[in-house]
Structure 1
Amino acid sequence: MTVSYQVPPVRNDRKAHLIGGGIASLSSAYYLINYGGFQGMNITVYEDLKVWGGAMEASGDSKTGAAYIMRGGRMFDKEAYSALYDLLTGVPSLEKPGNSCADDIRDFSAYKPTDSHARLIEPGPVKIDASKLGLNLADKASFVEFTLLPEHVLDGKKINEFFTPEFFTSNFWFLMRSTFAFQPWHSLTEFRRYCLRFIHEVPKLYNMSGVWRTKYNQYDSIIAPLIEYLKAHGVHFFNDTRVTNLDFTVTEPDRWVHRIDLVHGGVPTSISVSQTDLVFTTLGSLTSASIIGDTQHAPRPASQADVDKDPTWALWKEIAKKQPDFGRPEVFIGNYKNGAFESFSLTFDKNTTFFDKYIAWSENQPGTGALVTFKKSAWGLSLVVPHQPHFANQPETVQVAWAYGLFPDEVGEFVKKPMKECTGEELFLELCNHLGFADDFDKMKVNATIIPSFLPTTMAQFNVRRPGDRPQVVPKDSRNFAFLGQFVEQPEDVVFTVEYSVRCAQIATFTLCADKSGKPPREVTPIYRGWLDPMVMARATKVMILG
Structure 2
Amino acid sequence: MDMSKPDRSMTRAHLIGGGIASLAAAAILIRDGDLPGQNITIYEELRRLGGSLDGSGDAEHGYVVRGGRMIESKYLCTYDLFDSIPTLDKKQTVTQEIFEWNRVMQTRSKSRLVRGRHKIDAPEFGLAERHILALEKLAMEPEALLGATSISDHFGDDFFQTNFWLMWCTTFAFQPWHSAAEFRRYLLRFTHMVQGFNELQGIMRTVYNQYDSLVLPLRRWLEERGVVFRMDCQVTDLGLSDDQDETVVYAIRCLRDGVADEIAVGPDDLVIATLGSMTEASSMGTMGEAPKMLGRRDGGAWALWEKVAKWRPELGSPAAFAGHVDESRWVSFTATMKDPLLFRKIMEFTGNVPGEGGLVTFADSAWLMSVVLPHQPHFIGQPEDVQVLWGYGLAVDKPGDFVKKPMADCSGRELMTELLGQFGFVDQAEAILQNSICLPCMMPFITSQFLRRKHGDRPAIRPEGYRNLAIVGQFCEQPDDVVFTVEYSVRSAMTAVYTLLDLKKEPPAVYKGQYDPRHLFAAFRALHDMA
TM-score class, shorter: over 0.9
Provide runs of 4+ in structure 1 moved above 3 Å.
6-10
Which residue number in structure 1 is paired with residue 208 of structure 2? 216
The answer to whether the aligner puts 1:275 opposite 2:263 as a matched pair is no
Choose from 228, 253, 257 the match for 1:261. Answer: 253
SS in 2 for 1:54: coil
Cα distance change of structure 1 residues 15 and 69 upon mapping to structure 2, 3 Å threshold? same
Choose from 142, 149, 154 the match for 2:141. Answer: 149
Residue identity opposite 2:135 in structure 1: F
Residue identity opposite 2:51 in structure 1: G
Choose from 437, 443, 458 the match for 1:455. Answer: 443
Which residue number in structure 2 is paired with residue 347 of structure 1? 336
The answer to whether the aligner puts 1:390 opposite 2:378 as a matched pair is yes
**C-alpha contact 1:27 1:502 (8 A) present in aligned 2:** yes
Superposition deviation, residue 74 in structure 1 = 2.1
**C-alpha contact 1:307 1:336 (8 A) present in aligned 2:** no
Q: Distance in 2 between matches of 1:316 and 1:69?
A: 28
Q: Distance in 2 between matches of 1:7 and 1:489?
A: 33
Matches within 5 A, 1:317-356: 317-349=306-338, 351-356=339-344
**C-alpha contact 1:7 1:34 (8 A) present in aligned 2:** no
Q: Which runs of 5+ in 1 are unaligned?
A: 1-5, 515-519
Choose from 118, 121, 126 the match for 2:118. Answer: 126
Which residue number in structure 1 is paired with residue 155 of structure 2? 163
Q: Distance in 1 between matches of 2:504 and 2:298?
A: 39
Superposition deviation, residue 532 in structure 1 = 1.1
Q: Distance in 2 between matches of 1:191 and 1:134?
A: 19
Q: Distance in 1 between matches of 2:528 and 2:198?
A: 15
Which residue number in structure 2 is paired with residue 11 of structure 1? 8
**RMSD over equivalenced CA pairs, Å:** 1.4
Residue identity opposite 1:333 in structure 2: A
Superposition deviation, residue 376 in structure 1 = 1.3
Superposition deviation, residue 136 in structure 1 = 1.1
Which residue number in structure 2 is paired with residue 67 of structure 1? 62
Q: Distance in 2 between matches of 1:337 and 1:103?
A: 41
The answer to whether the aligner puts 1:360 opposite 2:360 as a matched pair is no
Q: Distance in 2 between matches of 1:242 and 1:219?
A: 22
Tell me the TM-score normalised to structure 1 length: 0.95
**C-alpha contact 2:474 2:483 (8 A) present in aligned 1:** yes
SS in 2 for 1:139: helix
Q: Distance in 1 between matches of 2:340 and 2:298?
A: 42
The answer to whether the aligner puts 1:30 opposite 2:27 as a matched pair is yes
Number of equivalent positions: 529
Q: Distance in 1 between matches of 2:322 and 2:114?
A: 33
The answer to whether the aligner puts 1:483 opposite 2:483 as a matched pair is no
CA deviation map 1:376-395 (0-9, x unaligned) = 11212100100000001101
Superposition deviation, residue 543 in structure 1 = 1.2
CA deviation map 1:29-73 (0-9, x unaligned) = 001001122100000000000111000111022xx4431011111
Q: Which runs of 5+ in 2 are unaligned?
A: none
Matches within 5 A, 1:91-110: 91-95=85-89, 97-110=90-103
Q: Distance in 1 between matches of 2:222 and 2:6?
A: 19
- Aligned residues with identical type, % of pairs: 42
Which residue number in structure 2 is paired with residue 3 of structure 1? none
Choose from 252, 256, 277 the match for 1:285. Answer: 277
Which residue number in structure 1 is paired with residue 17 of structure 2? 20
Q: Distance in 1 between matches of 2:449 and 2:189?
A: 17
CA deviation map 1:506-527 (0-9, x unaligned) = 110000101xxxxx24211110
Q: Distance in 1 between matches of 2:504 and 2:57?
A: 40
The answer to whether the aligner puts 1:535 opposite 2:529 as a matched pair is no
Q: Distance in 1 between matches of 2:225 and 2:484?
A: 29
**C-alpha contact 1:136 1:166 (8 A) present in aligned 2:** no
CA deviation map 1:465-510 (0-9, x unaligned) = 0001000011012210011111111001100000000000011000
CA deviation map 1:195-231 (0-9, x unaligned) = 1000111011111121110000000000000000000
Which residue number in structure 2 is paired with residue 426 of structure 1? 414
SS in 2 for 1:255: strand
Q: Distance in 1 between matches of 2:178 and 2:232?
A: 34
Superposition deviation, residue 457 in structure 1 = 0.3
Superposition deviation, residue 129 in structure 1 = 4.3
Tell me the TM-score normalised to structure 2 length: 0.98
Residue identity opposite 2:54 in structure 1: E
CA deviation map 1:217-269 (0-9, x unaligned) = 00000000000000001000011001110011113321110111111112111
Q: Distance in 2 between matches of 1:100 and 1:309?
A: 37
Residue identity opposite 2:316 in structure 1: G
Q: Distance in 1 between matches of 2:279 and 2:484?
A: 12
Q: Distance in 2 between matches of 1:338 and 1:258?
A: 37
The answer to whether the aligner puts 1:49 opposite 2:32 as a matched pair is no
